[in-house]
Structure 1
Amino acid sequence: MTQTVLITGASTGFGKAAALHFATHGWQVVATMRNPDAGADLAANKNILVTRLDVQDLVSIEGAIVEGIDRFGGIDAVVNNAGFGLFGIFEGASREKIQEQFDVNLFGVMDVTRALLPHFRARRRGTIINVSSGAGVFGLPMISLYNASKFALEGFSESLSYELASQGITVKIVEPGGVLDTKFGARSSDEFGSACVPAGYEDFVTATGKVFEGLRASRHATSEDVAKVIFEATTDGTDRLRYVATDDIQPLVRARRETSEEAYMHFMREQFRA
């Protein structure tokens, strides 16, 4: 039986690549985005329905779900992919930007998930894929708010997985690092450009920028690589919780998860001394 996935943030990056990957493998796709005009090329695929969903707009969430069910008869999986990253010194971030970071990266995921759960529970099945980040595993300076939203997403997803197992519903987390072909970095740079750098942080910002340049140089993955991991997590039939999606973050993931707290903190602090 043909299955259907709803994907948020499908206009670019991981979301768009995942929509195409699922459709290529015979799935029906509800590709959602804030501006459906941005998905005109996806809409040309007979397996893909492009519709509006803004994770900060509850009415649009309900509408996209109803439209997807009406078109395809049901939804079997959701990929909570929509998100963005604030970049800059925490002290220089406005409360409004902090709220937006959590509204999109965490509360939006919760709202989409909550809206779909009655449908999944009625069918006694469903798969929830939450796209996290290496920043949901290890902390980095200059992205403390993005880190906070993704750490929260990881905790929420793990806890939710225990609850929903009782309903036949599986929760999974996909953890990508930086990739070469998304607009994520450009938006982060724009956000940094509009943020305030309080006096006294200048040397630290300069030194940290050099570390991030090195991290960016290690990127080799593409959105299609991440889409393949999202598809694997959705279809492998296991209850595995976490999937590291790109090789560039593997050293930091291993340092966080496989070494002592003392060794890990010493290693990280050495990287970011101004």
Structure 2
Amino acid sequence: MTKTILITGASSGIGKETARLFQAKGWNVIATMRNPDSESELSTLENVWVTKLDVLDLDSITKAVNDGIQKFGGIDVLLNNAGYGAYGPLESFSRDKILRQFNTNVIGLLDVTKAVLPHFRQNKKGLIINISSIGGKITFPLGALYHGTKFAVEGISESLHYEVEQFGGQVKIVEPGMIATEFSGRSFDFSNDDSMVEYQKIVGALMGAMPAMAQNASPSSVVAEVIFEAATDGKNQLRYTAGEDAKMLIANRQQYDDATFIGGIKAQFGL
């Protein structure tokens, strides 16, 4: 029987590449996004259903999950991919922007997961794959909001895996490194206030380091391949790292104590 994956944030980047890959591998794909009317490529592919799901809108979540189950007869894998990165000095963010970062990356993930869990529990199977980041294991300057959400995704996922095991389900985490498009596209939201002069050195350091960081970035297709591996390898494995930069940074984080590792990050940014 053909398996089905539901993907959030499938309009671009990792989500779109993953939808393409799973479709090419013979899966049914429920490709969800906030503005499905603007999607012209995925909607032409066989066994791909493009539909609206905004992780900030509970009604759209419920409808997408229920309609997807009805269309394909069930969901085997949920990929919680929708999200973005808010960077900048904490003082420069409005409370609304702080809430939007956590509501999108954390509360939205929980709401989508809760909507799918009854279906998985009824079928006594189902796999949840949560897109975290190396930013869920290490931090860069000015990422208090983004890293806060990804550290949360790590904890949520690790704890949730105990629960879903009770009915035969699984949770897995994919931790990408730098993705080629993320700092030039809509997944990056930078905030700054020039009047806060104390922060401008570190702001300049981050902006100056971006071109070099981008040189080691992986294309979204690399992450999609790791997601497919996680979905199909049958292993009882919680974490998967995607990208050579991610593998190196996480290995370094495990090797060094806090002072040494954080000192290395400061040196990288010239701080």
Normalised TM-score (structure 1): 0.94
1:212 to 210, 215, 220: 210
1:23 corresponds to:
23
Q: Is the 8 A contact 1:12 1:183 kept in 2?
A: no
> Deviation digits for residues 95-114 of structure 1, max 9, x if unmatched?
11010001110110000000
Q: Quote the offset at 1:266 in angstroms.
A: 2.8
Indicate conservation of the 8 Å contact 1:79/1:128, yes or no: yes
- 1:76 is displaced (CA, Å) by 0.5
Contact conserved, 2:174 with 2:226, CA < 8 A, in 1?
yes
Match of 1:264 in 2: 261
CA distance in 1, matches of 2:173, 2:100: 22
Count of aligned pairs between the two proteins: 270
- Of residues 171-180 and 253-262 in structure 1, the stretch that sits farther from structure 2 once superposed is 253-262
Which amino acid is the alignment partner of residue 102 of structure 2?
Answer: F
Which residue identity lines up with residue 200 of structure 1 in the other structure?
A: E
Give the match for residue 185 of structure 1. 184
Give how far 1:257 is off: 1.8
The verdict on how the C-alpha distance between 1:251 and 1:238 changes in structure 2, with shifts beyond 3 A counting, is same
Identity %: 46
Q: Does 1:224 align with 2:221?
A: yes
* Counterparts of 1:63 and 1:200, CA distance in 2: 47
Q: In structure 1, what residue type is equivalent to 2:186?
A: R
Q: Alpha-carbon deviation of 1:40? A: 2.5
SS in 1 for 2:129: strand
Give the Å deviation of 1:163. Answer: 1.4
- Within 2, Cα distance between the matches of 1:231 and 1:258? 29
Shift of 1:188: 5.4
Counterparts of 1:116-155 in structure 2, within 5 Å, are 116-155=116-155
Task: Indicate the SS of the match to 2:185.
Answer: helix
Secondary structure of the corresponding residue to residue 185 of structure 1 = coil
3-state DSSP of counterpart to 1:86: strand
The one-character-per-residue Cα deviations of 1:7-65 (angstroms, maximum 9, x if unpaired) are 00001110011011001111101000000123221111121011000000000000001
The answer to whether structure 1 residue 250 and structure 2 residue 265 are counterparts is no
Residue by residue over 1:119-169, the C-alpha shift from the partner in whole angstroms, topping out at 9 and shown as x without a partner, is 000000000000111111101112221011001111110111111111211
Which amino acid in structure 1 is aligned with residue 244 of structure 2?
Answer: D
Change (3 A) 1:60 1:16: same
Partner SS, residue 31 of structure 2: strand
The one-letter code matched in structure 2 to 1:185 is: S
Unaligned runs of 5+ in 2: none
Alignment pair present for 1:39 and 2:39: yes
TM-superposed deviation, 1:84:
0.6
Corresponding residue of 1:92: 92
Q: How large is the RMSD of aligned CA atoms in angstroms?
A: 1.5
Q: Residue 183 and residue 262 in structure 1: after superposition, are their counterparts in 2 closer, same or farther (change >3 A)?
A: closer
Task: Please give the alpha-carbon distance, in whole angstroms, between the structure 2 residues aligned to 1:226 and 1:272.
Answer: 26
| Separation of aligned partners in 1, 2:201 and 2:182 | 28
- Compare 263-272 and 223-232 and name the one that shifted more: 263-272
1:210 partner amino acid: G
Alignment match, 1:4 = 4
Instruction: Flag structure 1 segments of 5+ consecutive residues without an equivalent.
Output: none
